[in-house]
Structure 1
């Protein structure tokens, strides 16, 4: 019996690799197992190697595993690229169609199963992925009936015969492999707890968080890996009285979102690095006009087109400083799918309370990594609209002549905000510096007053849990620091390090800007060494920590920028090297 399994399916993009993993994972999720899935895919629609690695466990997992138990291969390239992950006793299930060859330097077993041939005999070679699921079930000694509900949901619209044929393909793959395995010991998973949990990607959680927050408009341009947010909201918002517009470019997406928010509608836009570069001028406009706006940036490999389908965390500095001039801005970085839901909802509150751009920073691994999630609770989401005026404005109250002082200088930096069309609420809105009524003004005293007013907002930011802390040690040997998706790999490495007797604390930064210095400083001071783990080349988070917290002499950068996420053993090994 094993309590954890690592399974991977690979082949050429466009031949059903994703659906194979999806059916396998959903069925096991419904049995109560925890799952984490990560896809390696090419930036092409069809062709090029792709794989889907899925981890199955009886306990919570938030990252991919170091090794591999079962590799399902639809071509030789899948074996050649991935076999080194297989541990001793691992199994390769390969389509006999391509006469699979096992590399000499692996002790894993190779079993050629005629996926394509069996599927063709049953009616169509397209069902070879179902044969592969059956073969996997044989290795796991898993009852194939657990897939029936999922197959019904996916293929039910095509008729009962299609459903029956797909189940027949699973059965045929199971029976053939059972016979082929002979006396080989199967990998039986310990029984799961049977509880019902969600299985979703971070992008879906972001979209759900927006809906829960009352967002009813999205303007966006398709871009990997952010497009799922738009695609999800396209399906859901119309039924809620909302709308999604696919714009002609990223600039239009940002300015439309500003317009909707200016009109009083909670609105969102989402993109990735190249798109965020195009949105920069509009973000400056939102800052100058003090218009709330929520923007999602799902980081990927850059610069330029870079690595569109690969993991990276290199937009950090750009999201904080990426505007000409200076504006107040809030940048938050959820580290789990659950946080992606709740933090996105909170982003709308922060945007309206402080009347400034709020960037929800994600990364490809968090946005597209699919994992088991405890049920999300929308009742925990509150809606706070700040100083949005919800009553008639009395004439001459906060007025200069007939114009309302939309940019009234206030102690907290936030001015009352009327919605266009409100009686006695008329004011100017312009991207140039302006007086309290919004009319252009270049006077030095006014400039200082308005700049100071805008930046006073950042002095009062309230954000629940700006730093996730695991800090059982007052005098830690090591403090591990990360942001976004690195939380899972750090947590696993800590578990191993603690077994070795090391005293390790953990800080995951969730409020990137304004930086939570007061929360992080005590943890840095109490640790002998600080290792900052991030997927970029220059150690951007480490540099930000040095700027805001100091203690540069004990801060060590650990970076990875080859397009792949960190593995637990990589972090563990790096930590051991420090002592």
Structure 2
């Protein structure tokens, strides 16, 4: 028996690949397996090759696998594009309709299953995804009763007749392939899972759930890949708690509405991707100048311009830190797991109000849309912190205004909601005095700039860096952010097996940069390797800018639209060690 297995399904976009993956992985989750998925899809509504890859394990995993055990193919293109991943003696389950052919020299087994034919015999070719799922499931020797339960939940709203036909499709797919293979494949039998309850979701859903738990009750947003799922989740969830989502005409309207709602006292957020964030930059500056809290999610994708809207990249780092004109305090957080997506979103709302500034939650496509297993969230950990929000103020003189922007040692001033007694003050995007009245005085300008920027010195984020297992004085310290966490861990483990002393740090707070926390780790490392999905080494540049030591900092970059594989990180890092020696 084996402890992990990799499964992939491929076909044309719009022919059931996504639903097949969803039901297949849901059933595995019910059995208690740990899962990690990656979705490769085209930037179009229908057509174009798409595939979903799921890694199944009896232990926690946070990366896609280098190789592939089982490939389910709805067309020949799926074989041609993905067969190179198959390990020796891997399996291809293909629709007999297109007379599948394996590439010459490929050492794999082909099972041509009449997937479409069986589906049509049951009434519609749309059920071919269930036929394919049944065939895959049967090869693993897993109980069909669990899979059928997932089918019932998927199609139950369509009535018992539809459920019955889909269950029959699963059964026929299973029966056919078992007759061809002579029973389940012993080399693909998985060890029993631990059976513990686990969540299985994409990062966007975890962010949306975190926003809900943080008290967010308003989300204005404009749909964009790969952020739209946050909006779609909250469209259904917020009304149950007295909140609402508004689809705005563009991202400028979205961010300004979110700022207005926060000014009015509601916790509000918006979410987008790189192109949308570009449109939001002026308004993010407004939030910084008016010291209005706001949370913005940037789900990074391939750029620039429209770029690769459905592919992986981490190239918005500089834009999120330096994108606004002028200088304002802001906080940029980069979660790296499903759990962090949930808890960091709550933290983002607290930080936004505590420091009265924009907080940007920076994810990437793999983390946003890749489905992963997660521990059940602990709601006892949640605390709502509203900072210096005041509901009672002392009486003011006849012509005196409330000093909304009063000087303070930490740069944070008392804040009131509109209508608070004795809280009358001006709010404007131009430079202003302590009461918000416009002022162009050079002395006032310097004082106000110093006051706002003083927040950066006092900002404290829990676990600004995540220190993983490793050596205190490593030959190589590997640093990453976002979804690279698990992939680096696996690549690093292979280096350790070869006698190379390593350490691994994930940077979770990108701005203000955690210089003090990182400095001792860089000092003790012989070589520092920064792994990131962009072409210019933006995270590595931040390290050099804030810590120096440029001579020991090296980059491992990937910017072809695909996430890193563990083997790629192992090979690149080993090459740097060999080069050094």
TM-score interval (norm. to shorter): over 0.9
Query: Could you tell which deviates more after superposition, 278-287 or 190-199?
Result: 190-199
- What runs of 5+ residues in structure 2 fail to find an aligned partner? none
Q: Are 2:291 and 1:293 aligned?
A: no
Q: CA contact under 8 A between 2:140 and 2:184: conserved in structure 1?
A: no
Question: Structure 1 residue 401: deviation in Å?
Answer: 2.7
What is the alpha-carbon distance in structure 2 between the residues aligned to residue 205 and residue 105 of structure 1? 43
Residue in structure 2 matched with residue 14 of structure 1 by the alignment: 14
Residue in structure 2 matched with residue 30 of structure 1 by the alignment: 30
User: Secondary structure in 1 aligned to 2:559?
Assistant: coil
User: Secondary structure in 2 aligned to 1:116?
Assistant: helix
Q: Are 2:566 and 1:568 aligned?
A: yes
Query: Could you tell which deviates more after superposition, 327-336 or 403-412?
Result: 403-412
What is the alpha-carbon distance in structure 2 between the residues aligned to residue 400 and residue 471 of structure 1? 63
Provide TM-score, normalisation by structure 1: 0.98
What is the alpha-carbon distance in structure 1 between the residues aligned to residue 155 and residue 209 of structure 2? 26
What is the alpha-carbon distance in structure 1 between the residues aligned to residue 31 and residue 2 of structure 2? 16
What is the alpha-carbon distance in structure 1 between the residues aligned to residue 472 and residue 492 of structure 2? 16
Alignment of 1:102-141 (within 5 A): 102-141=102-141
Residue in structure 1 matched with residue 40 of structure 2 by the alignment: 40
What is the alpha-carbon distance in structure 1 between the residues aligned to residue 135 and residue 229 of structure 2? 31
What is the alpha-carbon distance in structure 2 between the residues aligned to residue 401 and residue 433 of structure 1? 21
What is the alpha-carbon distance in structure 2 between the residues aligned to residue 153 and residue 362 of structure 1? 30
- What runs of 5+ residues in structure 1 fail to find an aligned partner? none
What is the alpha-carbon distance in structure 1 between the residues aligned to residue 124 and residue 381 of structure 2? 48
Residue in structure 2 matched with residue 232 of structure 1 by the alignment: 233
1:240-280 CA-partner distances (Å, limit 9, x unpaired): 01111110000000000000000011100000000000000
From 499, 520, 523, give the equivalent of 1:522. 520
Residue in structure 2 matched with residue 150 of structure 1 by the alignment: 150
Residue in structure 2 matched with residue 410 of structure 1 by the alignment: 408
Count of matched residue positions in the alignment of Structure 1 and Structure 2: 576
Alignment of 1:353-368 (within 5 A): 353-368=354-369
Question: Structure 1 residue 379: deviation in Å?
Answer: 1.6
Residue in structure 1 matched with residue 2 of structure 2 by the alignment: 2
What is the alpha-carbon distance in structure 2 between the residues aligned to residue 282 and residue 520 of structure 1? 32
1:111-132 CA-partner distances (Å, limit 9, x unpaired): 1101000111111111111110
Question: Structure 1 residue 471: deviation in Å?
Answer: 4.9
Q: Are 2:545 and 1:544 aligned?
A: no
Q: Are 2:450 and 1:452 aligned?
A: yes
From 453, 456, 477, give the equivalent of 2:475. 477
Runs of 4+ in 1 over 6 A off after TM superposition: none
Question: Structure 1 residue 390: deviation in Å?
Answer: 2.2
User: Secondary structure in 1 aligned to 2:118?
Assistant: helix
Q: CA contact under 8 A between 1:219 and 1:253: conserved in structure 2?
A: yes
Q: CA contact under 8 A between 1:400 and 1:437: conserved in structure 2?
A: no
Judged with a 3 Å threshold, the aligned counterparts in structure 2 of structure 1 residues 264 and 125 are, in CA distance, closer, same or farther, namely: same
What is the alpha-carbon distance in structure 2 between the residues aligned to residue 40 and residue 172 of structure 1? 28
User: Secondary structure in 2 aligned to 1:556?
Assistant: strand
What is the alpha-carbon distance in structure 1 between the residues aligned to residue 196 and residue 34 of structure 2? 10
What is the alpha-carbon distance in structure 2 between the residues aligned to residue 291 and residue 379 of structure 1? 28
User: Secondary structure in 2 aligned to 1:7?
Assistant: strand
What is the alpha-carbon distance in structure 2 between the residues aligned to residue 568 and residue 170 of structure 1? 34
User: Secondary structure in 1 aligned to 2:44?
Assistant: coil
Question: Structure 1 residue 400: deviation in Å?
Answer: 8.7
Alignment of 1:211-230 (within 5 A): 211-230=212-231
User: Secondary structure in 2 aligned to 1:50?
Assistant: strand
Judged with a 3 Å threshold, the aligned counterparts in structure 2 of structure 1 residues 517 and 6 are, in CA distance, closer, same or farther, namely: same
From 420, 423, 433, give the equivalent of 1:422. 420
Provide TM-score, normalisation by structure 2: 0.98
1:81-100 CA-partner distances (Å, limit 9, x unpaired): 00000010100000000011
Residue in structure 2 matched with residue 254 of structure 1 by the alignment: 255
What is the alpha-carbon distance in structure 1 between the residues aligned to residue 435 and residue 123 of structure 2? 72
Q: CA contact under 8 A between 2:263 and 2:417: conserved in structure 1?
A: yes
Q: Are 2:488 and 1:487 aligned?
A: no
What is the alpha-carbon distance in structure 2 between the residues aligned to residue 336 and residue 234 of structure 1? 24
Residue in structure 1 matched with residue 165 of structure 2 by the alignment: 165
What is the alpha-carbon distance in structure 2 between the residues aligned to residue 468 and residue 340 of structure 1? 14
Question: Structure 1 residue 402: deviation in Å?
Answer: 3.1
What is the alpha-carbon distance in structure 2 between the residues aligned to residue 250 and residue 390 of structure 1? 32
1:408-458 CA-partner distances (Å, limit 9, x unpaired): 111111110010111111111100000111010000000000000001111
Q: CA contact under 8 A between 1:402 and 1:424: conserved in structure 2?
A: no
Question: Structure 1 residue 472: deviation in Å?
Answer: 3.5
Residue in structure 1 matched with residue 72 of structure 2 by the alignment: 72
What is the alpha-carbon distance in structure 2 between the residues aligned to residue 338 and residue 544 of structure 1? 26
Question: Structure 1 residue 185: deviation in Å?
Answer: 4.0
Residue in structure 2 matched with residue 52 of structure 1 by the alignment: 52
